[in-house]
Chains A and B, each alone.
Chain A
Amino acid sequence: MFKSKSITPFLFLFPALLLLIIFRISPIFLSFGESFFKKGFGFNAKRIYVGLDNYIRLFEDPILYNSLFVTLKFCIVCIPIQIFLGMSLAVLANQRVKGIFFFRSIFILPIAVSPVVSTTIWQLMLDKTSGLINGILFLFGFTPQPFFLAEEQALWTVILVACWRGIPFFMLFFLAGLQEIPQDFKDAAAIDGANRWQTFWKITFPLLKRITVFIVVTGTILNFILLEPILLITRGGPNESTNLIMWEAYRRGFLYGDLGAATALMSIIVSIVLLLVVIEFRILRTPK
């Protein structure tokens, strides 16, 4: 029936696929199923089938729309910054100069630190009364800034923390992409009289397109489900200004024990992310 040649790749893929199905794919479906139930109250209460009630309750709630708006604002600002600066840093780190390994190590340091540790350090550095950043601002005659504590500044500060971590992560992928581009292409362009900008724009950038698509998609997913700075610092505030959608789901499920609403919200998040990824693939796909 099957030729051994055609089965072999699947056999190699099987262990990874199995783990993926158990730990990544099946929770999505289990969570989707759970979103149609509600846990009753009282001793030994059973799950009650409520149909679309959890979804209706969410869509009737203005908090959901505010949370979606905040998440969208966060992603629209954060993703382009991460991609632009990630690519710029990768181009710099790709230069063949003495000591470049040292700079590459410095650039990727943020992803070597645990998110919990780095988030806590940012929180201490940005403290209004005793933080390092406010100390520096004070030295230069500026008044102390509230950062995470003010409605107008909190989301931008979260973006700063997310970018600090995200930029080196994406830089690594761009760097890998840049190093795959054969030097011959650039040499040929130079012989044809192209300057550095023209070489980058006409040769390097188009050859990085596959990597860029991957980064845009990954960036969308990672930023959409960002949780650490919100969980550890702002907890959605001040005045819901950093209430990212993942925190909203976490809060409903793990803080308030409303698993029905939380799983419904997770299903909504998965649907939105899928939709965005499809749109991104369509826009960025390479014409045949």
Chain B
Amino acid sequence: MKIYLKRVGILFFLITMLSANIYSVEITWLLSQTWKVKDSGFIEEFNKAYPDIEVKLEQFPINGVYEQIQVRVGTCQRDPDVIIVNAPFTASYGLKGWLIPLDDVFNKQEKDNFYKASLDIGTYQGKFLSSPIHTSTQNIYYNATIFKDAGLTPPGPDDRLTWEEVRDLAVKLTKDKNGDGAVDIWGFNWEQTTQYYQLQPLFLSKGGKSIGNDGLTVDGIVNSEEWISGMQFYGDMFNKYKASPVTTVRVWEMFRTGQLAMMLAGPWNVGRLSAKDYGFEWGISRHPYFKGGKIVTPTSGWHLGVSACSDQQEASKKFVHWMTTEAGGKAWFSKVRTALSAQVPVNQWILDNEKYQKKPWNNVRTAIDEAGVNPVPRPSMVGYYEYQQTLENAFSDIRSGVSAEKALNASINRLNSELSKYK
């Protein structure tokens, strides 16, 4: 009987040990569902440095991420602990007290490693609230096979087309191949078709401003001549020249299946296109600008923040620190996304890496170089979310055929209404 009890005791002990969580802390990370983190080996890499912290992923479509943050962090729930922060939202989240300062986690050298624009936009009222994962830029990606079939020469990696040249090329490249009246190949599209981030250079290239000096005034700015003319060009690509498709099908899907000749898109596409042969030749060139206008490129990207209501703030800070310093930056680029790092040494590591010196991976070098050509971040303002949402609705209307003047003027009412609470 005694031996029997002893055996049961040992068995019970072993079961308890085996079933016990090997981690001592669990943190929840809210992020975009398009980021293929699971099974990428990235979290395992983090666990080599911090074996006692388990990272639980909560992934949503990007609009869902914003809404989750509003609802859960806004009502001070204990999780998520770590959230992705769209860079210009830092000021708004900071004003609302949703993020804790990270100044004590990063030393001076680590902060100096960030691009200055990324560090600045992650800082609100002198506090470093969101630590940058990416910076970004946009390049024209072209399907060289479609160009060849149309008897046209694609732009080289150092060529910077004007928007007028892009439009003319796009019109020539748009084709109804079988003569049934339906377009089979479209000329051009913006990858994030109605997103503010991607469309801001249109009116900035014309000489416009993003927002008034107080960070709240929109009347006379959003409906200025520069905005109207830049955004009318955008609308005309869809409705007048019919060289860009109005569709819910993702731009990347159209490009990879040979239905789109050119897309203005981010550096993560270098990885996607290099990793697999899609049956066509491709290349990249520089971000366009308006003839006689300024060269402006988009910049900034996703940051990481720790929720002020998290009860695992120390572990969360360790994760944010690891991910946005050198080891995490390299792991992120090589395992998850070929988006440009917000850290200068990581991008230098990419440039020095043999893999990224050979075709087609070497296209990322053009992207890294482009990231330094007059990058203008989105406005850092407390009402950025309202600003972005309202304008993206207006951009969507313009894409659908509403005149830019009408859509932008209509957005003024909504913007004034939403931004008034910050005055």
Contact = CB atoms under 8 A, between A and B. Distances in A.
Main secondary structure of the interface of B (DSSP, over half): helix
Contacts of B385: 255-257
Interface string A168-200: 000000000000000000000000000000000
A256 B397 contact: no
A63 B417 contact: yes
A238 interface: yes
B400 A123 contact: no
B222 interface: no
A238 B406 CA distance: 12
A287 interface: no
B376 interface: no
Given A123-B248, A146-B401, A240-B410, A235 B393 contact: yes
Given A62-B413, A130-B249, A240-B410, A42 B70 contact: no
Size band of the interface chain A makes with B: 20 to 34
B245 A129 contact: yes
A44 B100 CA distance: 11
B261 to A, nearest CB: 15
B402 A63 contact: no
A287 to B, nearest CB: 47
Nearest to A235: B393
Contact residues of A: prevailing secondary structure: loop
A236 B389 CA distance: 11
B128 interface: no
A128 B74 contact: no
Contacts of B413: 62-63
Contacts of A63: 413-414, 417
A210 to B, nearest CB: 40
A40 to B, nearest CB: 10
Contacts of A61: 417
Contacts of B386: 256
A124 interface: yes
Interface residues of B, number: 38
A128 B193 CA distance: 15
Most chain B CB neighbours (cut-off 10 Å) among A124, A127, A255: A255
A254 interface: yes
A45 interface: yes
Interface string A241-259: 0000000000100111110
A150 B397 CA distance: 8
A239 interface: yes
B30 interface: no
B401 A239 contact: no
Contact of B97 (A45, A62, A146): A45
Interface string A14-50: 0000000000000000000000000001111100000
A130 B417 contact: no
A127 B248 contact: yes
A129 B402 contact: no
A255 B396 contact: no
Contacts of A101: none
B401 A124 contact: no
A85 interface: no
B308 A43 contact: yes
B400 A150 contact: yes
A41 B95 contact: yes
B397 A237 contact: yes
- A-B pairs with lowest CB-CB distance, top 5: A129-B247, A43-B97, A149-B400, A238-B397, A129-B245
Interface of B: 66-67, 70-71, 74, 95-97, 181-183, 245-249, 308, 382, 385-386, 389, 393, 396-397, 399-402, 406-407, 410, 413-414, 417-418, 420-422
